[in-house]
């Protein structure tokens, strides 16, 4: 505790010239064992890598699940004997059983939303980037930060274990609505698997909260001298708002989950009333299933932005660096992040338009939902004007950042359809919804994450990722994502419902059989290309081209003033002082001016 205070005091106290970081002389290394360096590390950079690699493992599992259920959806009449070899009774006769299908869908959603895009994306980049970009030796509390990872790890272990229990993992959709999820007798997936799910999520929430607390206090308290809030890179602003969203919304999900655990295990009736299961009348009365939906979506909607905001922040940074132009409308970018953050808490009921919500109440939620289009449009406009007439370098990170903008526009536009309560009567629970949230939240955030990995990999491992594999990865993923999700809009408009195992006996949706087969095939190709990325990632950690220059992208932010392989504490000498914002690109005839450079006498204003 005291050592951190000293560290911090040190940072504020000693302000020399920004050249100080070049001296590698007085690097105070304390001896680290394998255990303290790689496993129980309190170094934010190592914790970030732990989040990233755990996230990658989960992404492979979650992605594989989608391939499995796409096999069923695309080829409903075929049987795949290898499935029975792998999954036994869950895929008897080589066909995925109905229960197993629902379990796969549920786990795919849970894993991707929480374990990959929350922990793997914001956990990774918040950890790696906050101290490096604000100019701090480490997080406000390295210990809490370590706990944050290990709670995530525990949550992962519990969730992973639930895949192997006899009654299978939780099923009922990632939203686990009661009464289905509250009653073990209602389905296989509501038995032990659901308890595992709830316990795992409780641990996950603790992990996110510990992480979020740390991110907020690091950003607000440990900025280096000269790093005012308005000089922060947009990545940090985005992560800051993400953490605020998480800290305020996850506890509400926790309370919802605790009440559900009560209902499941202690026979209470928070969510249950007047239910008959298999001819048996249950004694529960007085509960309300809708109550759970309110509690769930009060988190659930901000969760969308918890996933999306870090991607937006990284994309802003990467677009500016690789266009060699300042970000357009910095304050508007911060303001729109703030607006999204506020609105995120006021729109949850748009997930509940068809639950019997009062239509007059619905009108307010429609209005507030559509209002989100305003900050979103500001952001898109600013990204486009940032790259407009820029001196663009098409690095893999840049391509993924541009891809993010493309997906965000395509997916965002369908959000305007779904935000209308009247249209939602027709569109809810159809493939239109699936297409919308996969493009705007799933794939777009993945693109932001990939952009971040490609851009900061040199900082993380001191090596580059292989470019050829990166370009293949980008183009196949971009084209593939559109090929998978674009057609779903049409079947959704035609009313094709989500979460069904088989439509082949359904006259109205037979016409989409070929399209479904096409989608499934593309999904498999895209999944294979993600494995290529995983290979590239691990191969490059050990064998990638070595980074030779301290600042390979010619970027202004502080992380590029650290040594190529920074130790614990980040800067061997003093922490550099900051004199300007992070976006002085192409100014006064200079390609870029790092934040550490003092403002010259005759410099023009930005």
Partner 1 sequence: MQAMSEQKRKIHPHKFTLWVAMGSILMMFAGLTSAYIVKRSQASWMMLEIPMVFWYSTVTIVVSSLTVHLALKAIRAREMVAYRRWMVTTAALGALFLLLQVVGFNALGENGIRLVGAGSNASYSFLLAISGLHGLHVLGGVIALMVIAIKAVSTTSRTYSSLPLEIAATYWHFVDALWIYLFIFFNWMK
Binding site for partner 1 (CB under 8 A): 1-2, 4-5, 8-10, 12-14, 140-141, 144, 209, 212-214, 216-218, 220-222, 247-252, 254-256, 258-259, 262, 266-270, 283, 285-288, 291, 294-295, 298
> Which residue from 505, 418, 521 is spatially nearest to 70, judged by alpha carbons?
521
Cβ contact 260:182 at 8 Å: yes
In the complex with partner 1, the residue whose CB is nearer, 17 or 255, is 255
Nearer to partner 1, 222 or 449 (CB): 222
* CB of 249 vs partner 1, minimal distance in Å: 7
Least distance between partner 1 and beta carbon 258 (Å): 6
Question: Considering the complex, what minimum distance in angstroms separates the CB of residue 296 from partner 1?
Answer: 11
Rounded to an integer, what distance in angstroms lies between the CA atom of residue 594 and that of residue 207?
A: 35
Task: Rank residues 61 and 139 by Cβ distance to partner 1 and give the closer one.
Answer: 139
End-to-end CA distance of the chain: 40
Angstrom distance (rounded) from CA 501 to CA 98: 7
CB of 388 to partner 1, least distance (A): 39
Closest CB 122 distance from partner 1, rounded Å:
16
For partner 1, the closer CB: 221 or 355: 221
CB 286 to partner 1: min, Å: 4
Identity of the residue, 220 or 377, whose beta carbon is nearer to partner 1 in the bound complex: 220
Q: Which helix (H) or strand (E) holds 590?
A: strand 590-592
3-state secondary structure at position 37: helix
User: Rounded to the nearest whole angstrom, what is the least distance from the CB of residue 285 to partner 1 in the complex?
Assistant: 6
Nearer residue to partner 1 within complex by CB, 306 or 523: 306
Pick between residue 6 and residue 374 the one whose CB is nearest to partner 1: 6
> Please, which residue, 140 or 578, has the CB nearer to partner 1?
140
What φ, ψ does residue 289 adopt, rounded to 5°?
-70, -30
Q: In this structure, how many other beta carbons lie within 10 angstroms of the beta carbon of residue 296?
A: 24
DSSP three-state, residue 420: coil
What radius of gyration, in Å, describes the C-alpha atoms of the chain? Answer: 25
Shortest spacing between CB 598 and partner 1, in angstroms: 20
Nearest to 449, CA basis, from 235, 145, 244 = 235
Q: Provide the minimum distance between the beta carbon of 345 and partner 1 in the complex, in angstroms, as a whole number.
A: 10
Q: Which residues is 221 bridged to in the sheet?
A: none
**Cα(369)–Cα(416) distance, rounded to whole angstroms?**
8
Give the whole-angstrom CA distance, residue 288 versus residue 357.
13
Total Cβ atoms within 10 A of residue 330: 22
Please identify, using beta-carbon distances, which residue of 6 and 165 lies nearer to partner 1. Answer: 6
Q: Which is nearer to partner 1, 141 or 376 (CB)?
A: 141
Encode 399-415: b = buried (16+ Cβ within 10 Å), e = exposed.
bbbbbbbbbbbbbbebb
Token pair of 223 as six digits:
């900025």
Nearest-angstrom CA–CA distance, 379 and 333: 6
Nearer residue to partner 1 within complex by CB, 150 or 527? 150
Closest approach, Cβ 353 to partner 1, in A, equals 18
The dihedral region occupied by 440, where left means phi > 0, alpha psi between -120 and 50, and beta the remainder, is alpha
What's the min distance (Å) between Cβ of 287 and partner 1? 6
| Four-point Cα dihedral 520, 525, 530, 535, nearest 10 | 140
Q: How far apart are CA 181 and CA 169, in angstroms?
A: 12
Cis peptide before 179 (omega within 30 of 0): yes
- Closer by beta carbon to partner 1, 65 or else 204: 204
Q: Which is nearer to partner 1, 216 or 582 (CB)?
A: 216
Q: Residue 141 or residue 562: which is nearer to partner 1 going by CB?
A: 141
Residue 195's nearest CA partner among 181, 180, 209, 179 is 181
| Residue 492: CB minimum distance to partner 1, A | 32
| Cβ 110 vs Cβ 169: under 8 Å | no
Q: Strand 276-277 and strand 585-587: pairing? A: unpaired
Shortest Cβ distance from residue 259 to partner 1 (Å)? 6
- Residue 165: asked if its preceding bond is cis (omega within 30°), the reply is no
CB of 185 to partner 1, least distance (A): 14
Classify residue 507 by its DSSP letter: G
Cβ at position 229, least distance to partner 1 in Å: 14
**Residue 163 CB neighbour total at 10 angstroms:** 16
CA 416 – CA 351 distance, rounded (Å)? 13
Phi (first) and psi of residue 585, to 5 degrees = -110, 145
- Per DSSP, the three-state class of 186 is coil
Nearest residue to 127 (alpha-carbon basis) of 140, 116, 114, 113: 140
Closest CA to 459 of 319, 572, 561: 561
Structure tokens at 599: 């403002």
Nearer to partner 1, 195 or 317 (CB): 195
């Amino acid at each position: 505790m005291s050592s951190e205070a000293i560290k911090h005091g040190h940072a504020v106290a000693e302000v020399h010239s920004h050249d100080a970081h070049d001296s590698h002389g007085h690097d105070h290394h304390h001896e680290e064992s394998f255990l303290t360096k790689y496993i129980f590390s309190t170094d934010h950079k190592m914790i970030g890598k732990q989040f990233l690699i755990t996230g990658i493992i989960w992404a492979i599992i979650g992605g594989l699940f989608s391939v499995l259920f796409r096999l069923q959806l695309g080829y409903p009449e075929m049987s795949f004997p290898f499935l029975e070899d792998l999954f036994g009774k869950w895929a008897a006769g080589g066909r995925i059983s109905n229960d197993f299908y629902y379990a796969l869908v549920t786990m795919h959603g849970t894993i991707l939303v929480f374990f990959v895009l929350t922990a793997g994306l914001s956990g990774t980049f918040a950890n790696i980037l906050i101290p490096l970009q604000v100019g701090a030796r480490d997080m406000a509390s390295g210990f809490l930060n370590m706990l944050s990872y290990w709670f995530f790890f525990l949550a992962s272990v519990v969730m992973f274990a639930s895949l192997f229990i006899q009654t299978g993992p939780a099923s009922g959709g990632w939203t686990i609505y009661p009464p289905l999820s509250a009653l073990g007798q209602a389905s296989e997936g509501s038995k032990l698997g659901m308890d595992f799910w709830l316990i795992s999520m409780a641990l996950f929430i603790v992990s996110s909260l510990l992480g979020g607390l740390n991110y907020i206090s690091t950003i607000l308290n440990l900025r280096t001298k000269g790093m005012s809030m308005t000089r922060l890179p947009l990545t940090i602003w985005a992560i800051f708002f993400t953490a605020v969203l998480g800290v305020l919304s996850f506890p509400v999900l926790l309370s919802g989950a605790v009440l559900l655990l009560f209902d499941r295990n202690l026979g209470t009736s928070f969510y249950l009333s007047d239910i008959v299961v298999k001819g048996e009348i249950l004694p529960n009365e007085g509960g309300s299933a809708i109550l759970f939906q309110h509690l769930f979506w009060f988190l659930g909607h901000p969760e969308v932005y918890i996933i999306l905001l870090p991607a937006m922040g990284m994309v802003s940074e990467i677009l500016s660096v690789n266009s060699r132009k300042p970000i357009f409308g910095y304050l508007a970018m911060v303001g729109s992040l703030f607006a999204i953050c506020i609105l995120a808490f006021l729109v949850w009921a748009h997930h509940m338009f068809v639950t019997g919500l009062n239509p007059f109440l619905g009108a307010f939620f429609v209005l507030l939902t559509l209002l989100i289009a305003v900050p979103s449009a500001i952001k898109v406009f600013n990204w486009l004007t940032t790259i407009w007439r820029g001196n663009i370098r098409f690095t893999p990170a840049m391509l993924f950042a541009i891809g993010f903008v493309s997906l965000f526009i395509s997916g965002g536009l369908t959000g305007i359809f779904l935000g209308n309560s009247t249209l939602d009567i027709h569109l809810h629970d159809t493939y239109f919804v699936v297409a919308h949230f996969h493009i705007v939240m799933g794939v777009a955030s993945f693109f932001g994450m990939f952009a971040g990995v490609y851009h900061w990999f040199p900082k993380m491992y001191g090596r580059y990722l292989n470019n050829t594999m990166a370009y293949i990865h980008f183009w196949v993923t971009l084209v593939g994502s559109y090929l998978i999700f674009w057609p779903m809009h049409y079947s959704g408009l035609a009313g094709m419902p989500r979460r069904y195992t088989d439509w082949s006996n359904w006259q109205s949706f037979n016409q989409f059989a070929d399209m479904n087969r096409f989608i499934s095939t593309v999904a498999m190709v895209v999944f294979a290309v993600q494995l290529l990325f995983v290979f590239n990632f691990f191969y490059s950690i050990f064998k990638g081209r070595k980074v030779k220059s301290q600042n390979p992208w010619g970027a202004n932010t502080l992380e590029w003033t650290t040594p190529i392989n920074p130790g614990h504490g980040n800067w061997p000498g003093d922490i550099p002082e900051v004199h300007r914002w992070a976006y002085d690109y192409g100014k006064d005839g200079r390609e870029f001016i790092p934040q550490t450079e003092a403002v010259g006498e005759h410099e023009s204003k930005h």
